[in-house]
Copies of this chain bind each other. A is one copy, B any other.
């Protein structure tokens, strides 16, 4: 998170800085973002920058906070609309994010973000450090219809979720790296979700 000092900045100046940051994040993938260029574009001295932000990661988190909030709301809504069907929700998340990306201003910015697989894992799995499900997931849990899932053991749900998330992370990376083939990536992702649902193993005759 940015410093308090950052939020105390006169609107004018803060806006200019933010625009510089957006510009830089839109220009190159995360790994190549240069604080040097940002401060030059914003016309602020080097020292000031570090009074506002702690580094790249810090900026990223701030820049994506709106999206994360919207994603959460959207997910909640989607869960309710789809009767707690996780699979439909995940596909809608991709669509939602696509719509979000293709909005004027976000065009290259979120493409650069979403096409970075490492960021995606962070983005979705969110401070999942204690081994338990992330905070986000925790809040959504009550709305998920577990009866749709074939859960047998204690950890089945968590494991399913991890699979879906890792798949989703890759799907995002692929879809947004070359957004012109979005339809294709989406179709593939949808197909993969179906595969997850029905299982990979061919049932032998006589099995359930």
Interface residues of A (CB under 8 A from B): 87, 117-118, 121, 147-151, 153, 155-156, 159-160, 162-163, 166-167, 169-170, 188, 191-192, 195-203, 208
Number of copies of this kind of chain in the complex: 2
Q: Chain B contacts of A149 at CB under 8 A?
A: 200-202
CB-CB nearest 6 A-B residue pairs: A199-B199, A197-B201, A150-B202, A166-B170, A159-B192, A198-B199
Whether the Cβ atoms of B196 and A196 lie closer than 8 Å is yes
Subset of 7 A-B contacts with CB under 8 Å: A150-B198, A150-B200, A153-B191, A159-B188, A160-B195, A162-B188, A198-B199
Whether the Cβ atoms of A202 and B167 lie closer than 8 Å is no
CB distance from A143 to the nearest CB of B (A): 17
Partner of A201, one of B118, B148, B162: B148
